[in-house]
């Protein structure tokens, strides 16, 4: 028979230590920074392509 408790619920039931909280916070921060970098890179790439397209004309 399959367990009825989801993995996330089982993990949430475990005690959370200070290092777990710090690790989770750091991961969120890094993920947020990565998202900002991806958006900036996409914006710069689009601007560069638009500029290059304009120079070719």
Q: Does residue 2 lie in a domain region? A: no
Whether 7 is covered by a domain: the verdict is: no
Distance CA(47)–CA(44), nearest Å, equals 5
Does 29 map to a domain? yes
Whether 23 is covered by a domain: the verdict is yes
Residue 50 lies in a domain: yes
Give domain status of residue 11, yes or no.
no
The mean predicted confidence, pLDDT, of the chain is: 86
Question: How far is C-alpha 34 from the geometric centre of its chain's CA atoms?
Answer: 6
In whole angstroms, give the CA distance from residue 44 to residue 38. Answer: 10
Question: Is 5 or 41 the better-scoring residue by pLDDT?
Answer: 41
Can you tell me the distance from the alpha carbon of 32 to that of 26, in angstroms, rounded to the nearest whole number? 10
Give the pLDDT mean for 8-12: 62
The pTM assigned to this predicted structure is 0.61
Domain span holding position 30: 19-56
- Number of structural domains (the chain) is 1
The whole-number pLDDT of residue 57 equals: 47
């Amino acid at each position: 028979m399959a367990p009825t408790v989801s993995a996330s619920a089982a993990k949430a039931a475990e005690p959370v230590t200070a290092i777990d909280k710090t690790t989770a916070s750091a991961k969120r921060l890094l993920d947020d920074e990565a998202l900002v970098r991806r958006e900036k890179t996409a914006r710069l790439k689009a601007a560069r392509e638009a500029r290059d397209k304009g120079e070719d004309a």
